[in-house]
Structure 1
């Protein structure tokens, strides 16, 4: 049976300081405030399998090293008497770590699952650093898995992936008796806050404000009008105070994983734009609209100084996809351009954008509902290579055959939005689509039907792309030089 030892481990960093909160930190603080009293709603968990080397003490030392390196992990937050949100970086302190010793053949997954469930319902005290907790499993005296739970104030998904990679590298060095590899030079949140208040930062915020105004002025009022046609409150606005039932379903598909890169090459767009195009067209067609405005989630790491930053840099940016015309590849290229423009405006003042919603609603005479999110969390969803890709190996028959392997099941994912789609590729060769929807907008069967429609449309277009590619190859073979 698994045995637990709880540790309080000291950490030590380079400085203690106080600074204004960044735009991303303020955005996340506002989201948590709206979610109260469930302050743990925005806790995020991540884990990494380890090669089974070193000792539990090595791993605890690695955890302490992470807090020393990354100021966001030892930062607390509160408001000044004037109401400004500030970040307080602690130089030293202690963190919590659970070490579970598991015998061979015992169920390590159930230990991780139980820990994650507890962490998702255990709120952090936001004013008290560190906003991270650790867990490890040990088999035969060596660490086999490391997990961490953070407040989204402290880190986003990209940060957790960076931490997972860093844990592996640091533990390997510690277990081998080698010096720890140096930290990647990156901008800390305190310096990010200073940049945002600099002339360059203020210029970026002004540009983003203009972008947001343009998006809000042109966005459809809602993608999910009231079903009864009475002109009442759209689903997801939540103003009536009633309890909202949400439905969450996951679709795991080999066929989607095969089809997406085929279409990305054929349409000459990113794989993320392929998925966004199909989702937008299905939503637009359902609502009878010629455009679709969604919020895209961005990691905000285009600046080289932020590529290795462990912090919350996350933002949600509106993007409008115009759906006119019959050729889906034209829509895909507009979607790709819309993504590019949105990500270029990922740094914005969240309070100013909140005010902008009110201003635009008064100008338009009605509120704008943008509670529709598209979140592609795959590690790599950019432009595929132009040659040598899967479309040269995949046939239409294989795409159809792969659809027989699709699995659809209820999922625990929950978000306070009308429509929230997450795309993941954690299992190689598969893509998972998880859709959480307001029950007033989509019934459980409609949620499943929407996911099946995404898969079906992707496969149909991929079949055409494969056929077109084969016809071009055949034509070149006949008419080319002998």
Structure 2
């Protein structure tokens, strides 16, 4: 494989600025500190295939334009003398980019894999902006792939998708000699920090604080009680006597992709709520609990001013699913309502929530473990009725036939929680469900079994819905 050519490219923005860190930035800073000495744990890579137009220099100019437009990409972070976390936006500077020339017998996927592997072990220095690196793969001088690696302090997944779309549009303009299209107006992180300190922002934070207090008051102590005969602590508690070993597996399923819209229409909820309902029921059953409290990842982009923002805005917000009752559709509707409320409280002060955890521990005399996350990263996972989606008729035979194509295999996904489930639909017609779990909670074989159980249960529910004729 050919070696890349490294470039240091200048960038220029519209201003320099200093402001307190936002709530989401402080939350991510705390998560990064928790993973030290692995300072690259929260490096995030994303990439976009390109049509093979223009030149590598065109793409480097596009990258420079991105840094000029999006202040989060040229922001560093440090502690102020009083200990508060501060964001510092640089007006000018340099960024790193690599250009890989793909020769005969090579492919862009291999180049991307090698670059991603190196980025996974190449930490950023938080105080030194920009917290982003780029790569270009070219064939015969034309770019066929662009990649970017960012610190999660600088961008979340929604931002990376925005950047991928913007790279394509800007390169298209550059390759045809046209001016860059204007940037989408959006709120920058500095303005977000001041919004959070405004009367409106403080009201939202107070509401979220009260919401978290209610969630912690009703949450089960753990969803993974100590196993008989282990002699250890439940996974996720500080007193665990053995080091955490985590395992990931991915289920790729056509059957789940067919079942979800059937059930969403039948139960009158979103497809995400369908998945959450089944997952929560399994977790509650394992814990012997009539409710399940876990954390949802929310993009926090309901405000129109934030929909085009490139920054880290995401948060993990607690949600409690009431599992009482015999009708699964009733559980699903309660889950859908609970998720709607949770997402509305996605903006919160992470330090105040930490204080609430500590206060709850003192009141109960034992910690509350919420090291369980549900992350549906699909771009569209709402109600079929709301989206106008007219799902084709699916038969029970279709569902069972699709199950024969299911594949479950080990996956490279890493997280730091006891239980972390991710749902994606990158491949049309398929759903991928990835589960990363602490082996003290779920062994590798149990991780795979959990995924198969989720698929089987969704298919059985969908078969019943089809039989009902709705």
Q: TM-score range by the shorter chain?
A: over 0.9
Structure 1 residues 423-474: Cα deviation after superposition (integer angstroms, max 9, x where no partner): 11111111111101111111111111100000000001111111212xx6xx
Deviates more, 1:382-391 or 1:346-355: 382-391
Match in the other structure for 2:224: 224
TM alignment of 1:312-323, pairs within 5 A: 312-323=312-323
Deviations 1:113-172 (A, max 9, x none): 010011011000000000000001001211000000000000000000000000000000
Instruction: Give 3-state SS (helix, strand or coil) of 2:47's partner.
Output: strand
SS at match of 1:416: coil
Counterparts of 1:449-460 in structure 2, within 5 Å, are 449-460=449-460
Measure how far apart 1:382 and its partner are. Answer: 1.3
* Equivalent position of 1:18 in the other structure: 18
Query: Structure 2: which 5+ runs fail to align?
Result: none
- 2:184 corresponds to which residue? 184
Show the counterpart of 2:367: 367
Q: Alignment partner of 1:447: what SS?
A: helix
**Further displaced range: 376-385 or 203-212:** 376-385
Distance in 2, Cα, partners of 1:202 & 1:4: 48
Q: What is residue 416 of structure 2 aligned with on the other side?
A: 416
1:253 to 1:209, Cα distance in 2 relative to 1, 3 A: same
Instruction: Give me the whole-angstrom Cα distance separating, in 1, the residues matched to 2:459 and 2:124.
Output: 44
Q: 1:337 to 1:37 in 2, by over 3 A?
A: same
Cross-structure match for 1:58: 58
| Structure 1, 353-362 or 381-390: larger mean CA deviation | 381-390
Q: Contact conserved, 1:261 with 1:390, CA < 8 A, in 2?
A: no
Name the SS of the counterpart of 1:172 in structure 2. helix
Q: Which residue in 1 is equivalent to 2:264?
A: 264
Deviations 1:261-299 (A, max 9, x none): 111111111111010000001111121110000100000
> Superposition pairs for residues 10-409 of structure 1, below 5 Å?
10-228=10-228, 233-240=233-240, 242-385=242-385, 389=389, 391-409=391-409
| Residue-by-residue CA offset, 1:194-222 (whole Å, 9 max, x unaligned) | 00011111111010000000000000010
Distance in 2 (alpha carbons) for counterparts of 1:325 and 1:199 = 41
The alignment yields a C-alpha RMSD, in angstroms, of 1.4
Q: Residue 124 of structure 1 contacts residue 131 of structure 1 at CA under 8 Å; is this kept in 2? A: yes
CA contact under 8 A between 1:133 and 1:150: conserved in structure 2? Answer: yes
C-alpha distance in 2, partners of 1:407/1:104?
32
Query: In 2, Cα distance between the equivalents of 1:91 and 1:386?
Result: 43
Give TM-score, length-normalised by structure 1: 0.95
- 8 Å contact kept, 2:232–2:240: no
**Native 8 Å contact 1:259 1:399 kept in 2:** yes
CA contact (8 A) 1:104 1:139 kept: no
- 5+ residue gaps, structure 1, are 473-482
Secondary structure of 2:279's counterpart equals helix
Say whether the 8 Å CA contact 2:384–2:390 is kept in structure 1. no
CA distance, structure 1, for counterparts of residue 187 and residue 375 of structure 2: 25
CA deviation profile, 1:20-64 (whole Å, cap 9, x unmatched)? 000000000000011111110000000000011011110000000
Q: Any conservation in 2 of the 1:102–1:139 contact (CA below 8 Å)?
A: yes
Query: Secondary structure at the residue paired with 1:227?
Result: coil
How far has the Cα of 1:233 moved from its partner?
2.4
| Cα distance in 1, alignment partners of residues 388 and 307 from structure 2 | 29
Deviations 1:75-132 (A, max 9, x none): 0000011101000000000000000011254222111001001101100000000000
- The alignment of Structure 1 onto Structure 2 pairs a total of residues equal to 470
Q: Scaled by the length of structure 2, what TM-score is found? A: 0.98
